[in-house]
Amino acid sequence: MTKLTDDDLGDLLRETFTEKEKETLADHLPAATRRRRTGPVLLAAAVVLAVVAGVLYGVNRVDRPRQTTPAATITASDDADIWAAALTAMARRFEPSSGWHGLVVLDLSDVGQDHVRKGPDFSTAQKERIAATVGDVAPVEWDTDITSASCRNRQAAQLQVGDIVNKGDHQEVLVSISSGCLYGYGQTYRVEKRDGVWVVTGTVGPGTGTWPALDCLMTGKSPASPQAGC
Amino acid sequence: MVTGLRSFDELVRSSERRLLRLGVMLTGGVHSAEDLVQTVFARAHRRWARISAMEHPEAYLRTMVVNEFLGWRRLLKNSEVPLAEPVDQPSGEDISARQAQRDAAWRLLAQLPRKQRAVLVLRYYEDLSDNEIAEVLGVAPVTVRTNAARGLATLRDSLPTDEER
């Protein structure tokens, strides 16, 4: 019986590793690595509006996702890029003429009434990817306390994202934004991959929330005071 | 805050996929590899001030991945789940003998002691010399050679030979 020599085994191992590399990670991570999402997805856009009243500013609901086959494999990095695209769109949408001084992204993955995302915590790698993109708008900070973030800085925006809903040919994700204590808004964005880059291609349904100075911010004017509105 | 974030992000972007591949070879699975690499990135971020000053931070991350794998599996020793199916004989006649040998080798790798597997991955996947592997693992080169020899011997004894196929 002929036994394999060390050189034979070395060649075999090189072939084996090369084959496994091609199988599992040649281009994208396999579909099996897609983060599992269970059950109907209820996305409630909620940001605290008032220190005294603590009013929930808005709720948005995304219907149960259609049972569609993913058009392409989506990795944890893709998730981060999808969130980053939606966060950037929302931050840009309400960006005051003087710009945001900072963006606080809330990492509230636990199940809570005011939390729009129910999935697992952002990974460190995901945070870095998100911050790298959204950081083009303003410096990004992370917070896990919705209460502390809600009113502490009127020149910064607080943002949350919901779980990503796979719609087959595109993805949908809810983003909520608040600033100061009286500004809050939620909107579901449609995100598609074009030329290898995830980009926002539209909105889904009406946005909800309370934004006293919404009109003036939408027209590019800055409110005299966040709480007083325009 | 975002101090140093760009540089760290660049390192993550440039090394993530390579480290994931290494992680797959070490752990035998993509999910485990993702956990492994993300854990390393989290640790690296906390030590970023020191790592960023290094001449070859990518190599340091590779070392972190290997050592995290060794320590991580050690912690899970009692509840470790097999990472691959047990070795069985190839059944499909359409599968080439060489393919069957590669499949068997992959499954056997999952059953090797972690350090032996790490040595074989670093030697035959990362193409590191025994001295370089010794540096990564923090052991003497002779220990590397011993682990490699034992790992190869196990494969040799368990792999089906031409006569057995």
Per-residue model confidence as pLDDT tens digits over A167-220: 888 898 888 887 765 556 778 899 998 888 898 888 887 776 554 333 333 334
Q: Provide the mean pLDDT of chain A.
A: 66
Whether B121 has its CB under 8 Å from any CB of chain A: the answer is: yes
Whether A49 has its CB under 8 Å from any CB of chain B: the answer is: no
> B35 pLDDT band (50/70/90 cuts)?
confident
Whether A153 has its CB under 8 Å from any CB of chain B: the answer is: no
CB-based contact A128 B12, cutoff 8 Å: yes
Rounded distance between C-alpha atoms, residue B139 and residue B153, angstroms: 21
**Which residue range(s) make up the domain with A55?**
39-218
Report the residue from B42, B105, B164 with minimal CB separation from A16: B105
Rounded distance between C-alpha atoms, residue A183 and residue A215, angstroms: 12
Whether A30 has its CB under 8 Å from any CB of chain B: the answer is: yes
Q: Which residues of A touch B42 (CB under 8 A)?
A: 123-124
- Across A205-209, B72-76, B126-130, the highest mean pLDDT is recorded for B126-130
> B125 pLDDT band (50/70/90 cuts)?
very high
CA of B16, closest CA in chain A: separation in Å? 9
Whether B110 has its CB under 8 Å from any CB of chain A: the answer is: no
Better pLDDT: B118 or A181 = B118
- The mean pLDDT of B82-89, rounded to a whole number, is 42
% of chain B with per-residue pLDDT over 70: 79
CA pseudo-torsion sign A163, A167, A171, A176: negative
Q: Answer whether residue B138 shows pLDDT above 70.
A: yes
What local confidence, expressed as pLDDT, does residue B162 receive? 55
- The mean pLDDT of A130-158, rounded to a whole number, is 73
Residue type at position B14:
S
Rounded distance between C-alpha atoms, residue B39 and residue A153, angstroms: 32
Q: Which residues of B touch A197 (CB under 8 A)?
A: none
Question: Which residue of chain B comes nearest to A29, CA vs CA?
Answer: B30
Query: What structural domains does chain B harbor?
Result: 1-77 (1.10.1740), 92-160 (1.10.10.10)
CA of B37, closest CA in chain A: separation in Å? 9
Whether B35 has its CB under 8 Å from any CB of chain A: the answer is: no
Number of Cβ within a 10 Å radius of residue A195: 5
Instruction: Mention every residue, 6+ apart, whose C-beta is less than 8 A from residue A211.
Output: A94, A183, A184, A185, A217
How many domains are contained in chain A?
A: 1
Q: Does A30 map to a domain? A: no
pTM to 2 decimal places: 0.47
CA of B150, closest CA in chain A: separation in Å? 11
Read off the pLDDT of residues A24-64 as tens digits, 9 standing for 90 and up. Answer: 655 444 433 333 332 222 222 333 333 222 323 333 333 33
Whether A215 has its CB under 8 Å from any CB of chain B: the answer is: no
CA dihedral A128, A130, A134, A140 (to 10 degrees): -50
Q: Does A27 map to a domain? A: no
3-state secondary structure of A175: strand
Number of Cβ within a 10 Å radius of residue A82: 25
Q: Which residues of A touch B6 (CB under 8 A)?
A: 132
Whether A120 has its CB under 8 Å from any CB of chain B: the answer is: no
